[in-house]
Every structure is written in structure tokens, then in C-alpha cells.
Amino acid sequence: MRIVSRSWMLFGGAMMLAMLAAAPLAAQKDSRPNILFIFADDHAYQAISAYGSKINQTPNIDRLAREGMLFRYALVTNSICAPSRAVIQTGKYSHLNGVLNNRIVFDGSQQTFPKLLQKAGYQTVIFGKWHLKSEPQGFDVWKVLRGQGYYYNPDFRVPGGKDIRIDGYATDIITDLTLDWLKNQRDPDRPFLIMCQHKAPHRNWMPAPEYLTLYDGVKIWEPPTLFDDYSTRASPAREQEMEIARNMRDVADLKLISLLEAKKRGEELPAVFARMSDDQMRMWDAAYGPKNEAFYKANLTGRALVRWKYQRYIKDYLRCIASVDANVGRLLRYLDVSGLAKNTVVVYSSDQGFYLGEHGWFDKRWMYKESLRTPLIVRWPGVTKPGSVDTHMVSNIDLPETFLEIAGVPVPPDMQGRSLVPLLKGEYVPDWRKSFYYHYYEGPPAVHKVARHYGVRTPTHKLIYYYQKDEWELFDLELDPYELHNVYNDPRYARVVKELKAELKRLRAELKVPEVDPDLQR
């Protein structure tokens, strides 16, 4: 009996030692939420079925909305790619983070939210479109597209100033990189921020092989303002160069070419096509050849030609989104099967909105609704009520503060946004912003020739100032949701104009906006 008792004592002691040895390891497990940020490029909110799209279905993005919160009025501070990305990195408006337009190199030495998360122990990773010219800082792992990036067989910049080419389709590749890191490279004992940033659906809207014939034989709904004549707007609305009718390129945008035939003839193809393999070109020509032949036979003119261009454009755009949505599904399924879903905040957004034929346009830049608003959907299991919809005016400038608070990291006082965490928790926030400031700096002669402007938006009105032209626009958002009628000079709105000008002045002072456009002083 004594021997048995001693054996049990020895066994029990060993077990206790093992438990004590394991205790520090268990204590090192960091249970703070992971963050997966899925970021599209130029994905219009009106091309997401959860936002009521009339033109497509996005079942995987919709799943996030069903299981999380959809922000109805997510706004951007500057509706263009690089400035929007710099705002999200820094939590500061363009005039403070330095990226006023797409030409300026981002100063990576400044404070960014990934650096703060990294310092706090988060693993920080980014794959896909960066578009800030300087190398990413604050990331443990990164592999980013060169410049705007290509849809087919894209080049990626990697640490050390090297470039590598990866064969395939960009949306799939970026997702593959994200999944590979999640499966094979992450430290399971530390939380992560991973930014999966797609090139799609940016111009020139090149679909993946499996979606090249999606929507063939289908007529996509036309927006009611497709043939807008800009008659009541300020002069910049008429002077732009982003009309579907007259500013789309026959080859690069509308794909009116046989790639293999052009290659055989020795013609110089646009770079977006020239990098494709012969097999990829063959699939491309098989899909577009019959459609192009039918177009040439029809010999369209006038409004019929505009309608054809719209259909070609919108179908290619939606085909690109179909790939994005499918890849969102791949990521969500992995989170499910790996068990990561329950402690991972998933955010889906885009760098700005986009025109899908509204006002006869493609592209973005304006303070008008379609480019000012961007999709924003957040799923935070156990915190955010599934299927909830928020109607506060939120912004891309709020995202870094949100990520920091989710991670339990103090928000620096010089950031200009505000954490969305209280809204995600369903709390009543009586002092949330009642107005929003916007500023677009990349005016003519830059591409699309949209005039520089700034303005203020409230829930009911929008005031825009084109400061190089000294022209104003005012829209009554309740009576004129399509923003077709400029009522700035209508005496019935004199009081509204006065109030909004005062609010605009207050916001510019609060946000420390220089009196003179800093880009014009360069």
C-alpha cells in the first residue's frame, strides 16, 4: 500500500509540475479580437444586394450584413484611391496626412494604425493593392501590387524592393495569399490584423475567366439619370471627362478587339492585355468575339450607342464584383472551418463609391452621392447585433480609431475620426456628428478633369463650393435624392445657405484645413 501511495504521490506531483509549466504558456494566449479587413477598389454601394442593388446579387457580402451591421451612410473624405487609403492608415484628412491626390508619395514614417497595433502585439499583414507609392510600414508581412496593379498575372512588390509576378487572376491571388498566411504562417497565440485589399472592380474592369460570359443575354437596369444634361448644375458638371458616351476607350475599356489577332499582326496591345498568356487571350476572345461582332453589325448611333456602352461597361464591372464576392465567401468559409470566425471582426468596405451610369458617368471624385458614399459592413460576433443597420454619418476616417478600440489600444488624440465601437455595440450616441466635411484636390488637368471642390453634408442638405471657379451648389437631399437641381440661388433656401456656410467654416477650422489649397502651393 505504501508503494502504491508513493506512486500516486509521484504521479500527482508530476502532473502538478506539468500544469505549472503549462500555465505561463496558457497565460500568453492573447484573446483580443482578430481583424480581417477586406477592401475593394471602386466598389459602389449600389452594386451590393444588401444595399438594395437593382443590378446584381452579392450573397457572400450579404452574409456579412445578415450577421453584422450595415452602415447606410458611410462617407469618404476625398473620393479617390490613394487619398482614401492614406486616410484609413492615419485617421487624418488629406491636408494633414499629406496625400492630397494620386500623385503624391505617402510619408510612411508618420503614425499609422498598423504601427500602433504592431507595437501592441498584433500580427500585421497586408496583401493586394497598396497604391501609396512608398513601401508599407507597420506590417510584419506584406506583398502589394505594383501601382494600380494588373488583373491578369500581376506584379507584386515584396520587401527589399523586389518584384515578383504571380500567374493567375488578381482577386483570386490576393485571396490565396491571405488564406495561405492564415493557414500556414500566423502565430495562433497572437491576434492579427490582415488587410486583404483587392484591385477589383477598378477600371478597366477585366473579369476572371469563369465570369467572362456572366450576364450575356441579360439587359442590366439603367439608372434614371443616364442621360443627365447637367443643365441646372454649376459648370464643372458639364466640363468633366468621365462620360460613358464620350470618354470610354474602345480597346482598353470596351474591349473592342481580338487579342490574339492583334498579337499575330504585331500590334502593340495595352499593357493590361499584353501580359496575358495565349490561353488567357484565347478564352477572352472566345467570350468577347461574338459580342463584338454583333456590335459592329448593329452600327449603333446616338442614345442606342450610349446604351450599348453602358451595358458593356456595367456587365464587366459586375463580373469583377462577382469574383470579389466569391472570394469573400472563400475567406468566410475558412474562418468557419478553422474556428477563427467567433473571435474575428470582419470588415468589408471600398476606398470610395463609384458611378454606375448615374449622371451618364463612370469613375468617382465628386461630392455627389454615388462617389461620396461607400459600402461599410462589419461583423463582430457576440458584440454586434446580426442584421442591424446604422444610419449615422460615418466615414473611412473612423476606421483606424475603430480598429484600435477593438484591439484595446488607445486612440491618439490627433486622429480626426471617431471609433465606431459604440455604434457597433448598439449604444445610443447623442453627440455623433451631424455634419460631414469633404474635400477633393485633384482638379484639371488631371484625368477626368473634375474641378477641385469642398463642401458640407448634413442629413438633409449638401453644399458644394468649387473654389477655383467661385461657384456653389446646394441640393435638398429630401426633395431631390438624385441631386439634379441646384437650389443655391433659390431665395427659399437663403437661410439654409447661410447656416451651411457657417457650418462649413466651423468644420474647416475644427479640422485645421488651410485657407489656401496646399496642392496649389506646391
Least confident span in 1-15, 66-80, 160-174, 296-310: 1-15
How does pLDDT run across 186-213, given as a tens digit for each residue? 999 999 999 999 999 999 999 999 999 9
20 in a domain, yes or no?
A: no
pLDDT of 330 reads 98
Name the percent of the chain lying above pLDDT 70.
Answer: 95
Encode pLDDT of 459-477 as tens digits: 999 999 999 999 999 999 9
CA 291 to chain centre: 31
Q: Tally Cβ neighbours within 10 Å of residue 363.
A: 21
My answer on whether 89 and 198 are in the same domain is: yes
Same domain, 379 and 450: no
pLDDT of 21: 41
What's the mean pLDDT in 275-299? Answer: 98
Task: For residues 101 and 84, give the distance between their C-alpha atoms in angstroms, rounded to a whole number.
Answer: 9
Domain assignment present for residue 178? The answer is yes
| Within a domain: 10 | no
For position 407, which CATH number holds? 3.40.720.10
Residue 82 C-alpha cell reads as 490613394
| Averaged pLDDT, 404-425 | 98
Q: How confident is the model at residue 364 (pLDDT cuts 50, 70, 90)?
A: very high
Residue 16 lies in a domain: no
How many domains does one find in the chain?
Answer: 3
Q: Under a CB-based contact definition with an 8 Å cutoff, are residues 95 and 512 in contact?
A: yes
Range of the domain at 195: 31-206+320-431
pLDDT in tens, 377-387: 999 999 999 99
Residue 3, pLDDT > 80, answer: no
- Which pLDDT does position 1 carry in this prediction? 33
Quick check: is 229 in a domain? no
Interatomic CA distance for residues 79 and 67, integer angstroms: 28
* Residues 202 and 214 placed together within one structural domain of the fold: no
Average pLDDT over residues 263-275: 96
- What mean pLDDT is predicted for residues 324-332? 98
Paired sense of beta strands 69-75 and 388-395, if any = parallel
Shared domain for 139 and 172, answered yes or no, is yes
Name the phi and psi angles at 517, rounded to 5: -50, 115
What's the one-letter identity of residue 237?
Answer: A
- pLDDT higher than threshold 80 for residue 18: no
Whether residue 225 lies inside any domain: the answer is: no
Residues with Cβ within 8 Å of residue 254, at least 6 apart in sequence? 248, 309, 312, 313
What is the pTM for the complete model shown? 0.94
Q: Is the pLDDT of residue 285 over 60?
A: yes
Average pLDDT over the chain reads 94
Alpha-carbon gap, residue 472 to 462, rounded angstroms: 11
Same domain, 102 and 194: yes
Residues 364 and 410 in one domain: yes
User: For the chain, give me the number of helices (H) and strands (E)?
Assistant: 15, 14
Residue 508 maps to which CATH number?
3.30.1120.10
User: What does the block give as the cell for 263?
Assistant: 498579337
Domain match, 137 and 150 both: yes
> Which one of 271, 292, 310 terminates a domain?
310
Cα–Cα distance between 91 and 109 in angstroms, integer? 15
Provide the residue count of the chain: 522
How large is the average pLDDT for residues 355-363? Answer: 98
The C-alpha atoms of residue 459 and residue 228 are separated, in whole angstroms, by 24
Structure confidence at residue 179 (pLDDT):
98
- ∠ CA 45-472-358, nearest 5°, is 30
pLDDT band of 19, cuts 50, 70, 90: very low
Nearest to 359 by CA among 487, 201, 483: 483
Residue 409 has pLDDT above 90, yes or no: yes
In sequence order, the β-bridge partners of residue 144 are: 128, 157
- 328 and 306 assigned to the same domain: no
166 part of a folded domain: yes
Is position 6 within any domain? Answer: no
Residue 244: pLDDT band (50, 70, 90) is very high
Q: Confidence class of residue 230 from pLDDT cuts 50, 70 and 90?
A: very high
Mean pLDDT for 282-302 is 98
How high is the pLDDT of residue 161? 87
Instruction: Note whether 202 and 348 are same-domain residues.
Output: yes
Domain co-membership, 64 together with 145: yes
Same domain, 424 and 463: no
Cβ contacts of 183 within 8 Å, gap of 6 or more: 334, 338
- If asked whether residues 136 and 38 sit together in one domain, one would say yes
Which pLDDT does position 391 carry in this prediction? Answer: 98
Mean pLDDT, to the nearest integer, of 387-392?
A: 98
Q: Which of 431, 450, 472 is the last residue of a domain?
A: 431
β-strand partners of 141? 125
Give me the mean pLDDT over the 249-266 stretch.
97
Last residue of a domain, one of 286, 310, 334: 310
218 to 55, 437, 449: CA distances (angstroms) = 10, 40, 33
Can you tell me the mean pLDDT for 481-490? 98
Mean pLDDT of 325-333: 98
Q: What confidence category does residue 28 fall into, taking pLDDT thresholds of 50, 70 and 90?
A: low
The angle, 0 to 180 degrees and rounded to 10, between the axes of the packed helices 302-338 and 59-67 is: 60
Share of the chain above pLDDT 90, in %: 93
167: exposed, middle or buried (C-beta count within 10 Å: 0-12, 13-18, 19+)? exposed
pLDDT tens figures, 90-103: 999 999 999 999 99
